Amino acid sequence: MTAQRQERNGWRRGVAFFGLLAGILAATWPDLGAQATTTERVVTNRYSGLAIEGFDPVAYFTDATPTLGHAEFEAAEGGAVWRFRNEGNRASFVAHPEIYGPQFGGYDPTDLVRGVTCAGNPRFWVVAGNRLYLFNREKSRDAFAADPAHFLKEAAARWPALEENLAQ
């Protein structure tokens, strides 16, 4: 083997070692996705400014499914822009945002119990006690659905302190 090949192979081994080390750290490190936090009082898309990714919050109650809203049916509430699928849903939300808007500003209540503010995903949701809750993963939604009273008691107790640290 020539000296140049030996140098190249030594460099490759170093890259492989650091790649292996990074893989081991990623596999053993706590779930970074669950640790991610946001700072808005109402979860919004940072690029579009839309609350709950543009899904119609009233449709979760009327249609029992996430439905994308339309740009022609928008309302501003709580520092976010909300979209609706029709004027009736928009009017219902404007009249009662505390009912139709996701509770805890759209943050995952199972993560609030842990003291972390993680944005909920509008595709993982539960309506419990006539209120909408969003979750950042399916596993969290399923745990909440099994015992909503437990999670709601704990999340409601932690929410005021967490909300105080969020931006206005």
Task: Encode pLDDT of 63-115 as tens digits.
Answer: 999 999 999 999 999 889 999 999 999 999 999 999 999 999 999 999 999 99
Residues 10 and 42 in one domain: no
From first CA to last CA, the distance across the chain in angstroms is 65
> Percentage of the chain surpassing pLDDT 90?
65
**Domain housing 16:** 3-30
Find where tokens 């822009």 sit. 81
Domain count, the chain: 2
Residues 67 and 142 in one domain: yes
Residues 58 and 124 in one domain: yes
Residues 95 and 126 in one domain: yes
Q: Around Cβ 63, how many Cβ atoms within 10 Å?
A: 12
Residues 53 and 20 in one domain: no
Residues 43 and 106 in one domain: yes
Residues 14 and 59 in one domain: no
Residues 83 and 21 in one domain: no
Residues 42 and 19 in one domain: no
Residues 16 and 99 in one domain: no
Confirm if 109 and 144 have CB atoms less than 8 A apart. yes
Q: Residue 17 pLDDT more than 60?
A: no
Mean pLDDT of the 122-137 span: 96
Picking from 120, 112, 110, the residue whose alpha carbon sits closest to that of residue 143 is 110
CA 121 → CA 7, 46, 109, 111, 124, distances in Å?
49, 14, 12, 13, 6
Residue 7: CA count within 13 A, CB half-sphere: 3
Name the pTM for this structure: 0.75
Cα–Cα distance, 31 to 73 (Å, whole number) = 38
Mean pLDDT of the 112-135 span: 95
Picking from 2, 141, 12, the residue whose alpha carbon sits closest to that of residue 66 is 141
> Percentage of the chain surpassing pLDDT 70?
75
Residue 46's pLDDT is 86
Residues 139 and 94 in one domain: yes
Residue 3's pLDDT is 56
Residues 22 and 93 in one domain: no
